[in-house]
Amino acid sequence: MRVLINGFGRIGRTVLRAWARAQRAQSTSCGTGPGGAGIGAAGAGWQDIDIVAVNDIAPAETCAHLFEYDSVFGPFDDGVGLGDGALIVGPHRLRLTHAPDISALDLGEIDLVMECTGKAERREDAARGLRAGARRVLISGPSAGAEITLVFGANEERLDPEHRLISNASCTTNALAPLARLIDRAWGLESGWMTTIHCYTGSQPTVDAPRGADLARARAAALSIVPTTTSAGRLLDVVLPELAGRLACAAVRVPTASVSAVDLCVMTRTPVDVATANAHLRAAGGVIGWTDRPLVSTDLRARPESVIMALRETALTAGGMLRVFGWYDNEWGFSCRMLDMAREIGRRAG
């Protein structure tokens, strides 16, 4: 599968880093969780995915520099360069273009556009890659213009070869949906509340500045804890319609640069104790990892799972409310799911 990354921001660059690292390691799709559970479908480092091109409006020198030197993940240690309209990443030579609108490009040889600009909410914008000749588009965020919204580990079986515009949902939805499905299938999820403790992102200002109607989001990101909203609740209803209306969600943005968490409290139809809950979380595998060590957010940086359950935090109230807590690297884990979903798209398309 020949892939073009459109938008070389946080997710676009992280997708390329994860892919390049996997190509070099020739390991499973994006690592191994505790206890040896492989993440994603088995394979040698997404070997069936070939990232051949990047499009971004920034100058070539900026694209190369920001890929090589990353404030969160550190320097890329396999060589980065430019030459003859290409971005050179280790042994990989990627065509580098700077079209503000990719529909102006000839993408007839591209199987999949990873739409990572963050500007694909409308179908008109999301479909630009298709108009340029690409066969399919995978959007790195929620999109009303998508034909289907998928989360690996929750509903990827709904993918159909006829789907051409696909949303990969959000990082928080990728953490929440597989966990909610696990709980519902094991004990029946009656109702619950999820709070995501989320690191700041580029949507927040570094100093106080207007940011739309949410005045709390207008405050300096690195100086305050900011209560706000999340799209995860709305997207969960789309991804797992059988749970529609059963989970409410909120977000708190915190002054850290990477790694977030889901704090989920639920009532279950079948009573469950802490030991049983943790046994299920340990056995889940796939995109759900776990740890029983006293870790903090920086310890989970660049973990490939969609969510890593902190088993020490599992608790139960006298009234039967179950509380589970999971970490997720909102950039690296989500980027791994972009690659896993791309591979699934390639397999279903034949």
Q: Which residues are catalytic?
A: 171
Joined tokens for residue 19: 């892919």
Q: Residue 62: CB partners within 8 Å, gap ≥ 6?
A: none
Is 257:199 a contact under the CB 8 Å cutoff? Answer: yes
Is 146:126 a contact under the CB 8 Å cutoff? Answer: yes
DSSP H helix total and E strand total for the chain? 8, 19
Cα–Cα distance between 169 and 341 in angstroms, integer? 11
Question: How far, in Å, are 21, 35, 55, 59, 106 from residue 97 at the CA level?
Answer: 23, 42, 5, 9, 11
Tell me the one-letter amino acid at 48. D
Is 192:265 a contact under the CB 8 Å cutoff? Answer: yes
Question: How far, in Å, are 10, 89, 258 from residue 72 at the CA level?
Answer: 10, 18, 7
Joined tokens for residue 345: 């798209």
DSSP 122-168: SHHHHTHHHHTT-SEEEESS--TT-SEE--TTTTGGG--TT--EEE-
Cα–Cα distance between 291 and 180 in angstroms, integer? 18
Strands (E), 204-320: 226-228, 247-254, 260-268, 288-291, 307-310, 315-316
